[in-house]
Amino acid sequence: MLTLLSNKEFDQRLVKTDIWKGEKWIYPIWTGTLVAFTKKNEKVDKFIEYIDPVTYIRYVFEAGDAKGEKNVVLAINHGFTLDGKPTFTYNQDGKDTVLVQIAKEAKVDIIPNFPTIKMFASNWFLTENKFGIPVGRRVSSNISLRKIQDIHHLVRNDGDFVGLLVRNHFSDGTRTVTAFNHPSCRLGALAYKPEGVMQ
């Protein structure tokens, strides 16, 4: 069983070291960090749904305790529970619906203050600690401030979204966290074999 590298783990390759320079060919790349959110200032309902604009497949994520919240992002990293179950799975439900299901033993985090921004504006933010997701108020895009490792650029879908975060390297650096690539995009991936997982 293999675990996809999380968004936070990609900081080790893209921000804290130059590992990415030896693996440029795999970028842009899916991370193992799954997120779900609604459009800005809209309350979360029982389910968050996203339709892939290419395949028209609908991805459905149960919001749980986030119901009624505004401007939050739900997040969970790919991995395995102690008894070897994946933390989340994609399960076909009919011809054009996929249910994104979370293992009972796994926990989805509800992260407040997810930025409500225009997709391609100058959107630099501090990141929260667990997932490395940009949150809070916009910070200066001054190039000297970008040397602070916890400042990242965010590109997010304007509407509802369910999917994996994507990382890349661009001319303005390696700190862009992207939350808008549809699941049918053909991107790279990196995975490792976790220790202590039942085979």
Chain segment 55-109, per-residue pLDDT in tens:
999 999 999 999 999 999 999 999 999 888 999 999 999 999 999 999 999 999 9
User: How many CA within 13 A on the CB side of residue 67?
Assistant: 8
Q: How far from the centroid of its chain's Cα atoms is residue 197's Cα?
A: 23
Q: Is residue 51 part of a domain?
A: yes
Q: Is 38 helix (H, G, I), strand (E, B) or coil?
A: coil
Q: Is residue 172 part of a domain?
A: yes
Q: Is residue 125 part of a domain?
A: yes
Q: Is residue 197 part of a domain?
A: no
162-182 residue pLDDT tens: 999 999 876 556 788 999 999
Q: Is 126 helix (H, G, I), strand (E, B) or coil?
A: strand
Total tally of structural domains belonging to the chain? 1
Q: Is residue 195 part of a domain?
A: no
Read off the DSSP letter of residue 19: G
Over the Cα atoms of the chain, what is R_g? 16
To 5 degrees, how large is the angle CA 136–CA 137–CA 140? Answer: 130
Share of the chain above pLDDT 70, in %: 88
Q: What is the mean pLDDT of residues 114-143?
A: 82
Q: Who contacts 2 (Cβ-Cβ below 8 Å, separation ≥6)?
A: 191, 192, 193
Q: Is residue 110 part of a domain?
A: yes
Residue with token string 């440029």: 24
Other C-beta atoms lying within 10 Å of the C-beta of residue 125: 22
Stated pTM of the model = 0.91
Q: Is residue 39 part of a domain?
A: yes
Enclosing domain of residue 99: 3-190
Q: Is 174 helix (H, G, I), strand (E, B) or coil?
A: coil
Q: Is residue 196 part of a domain?
A: no
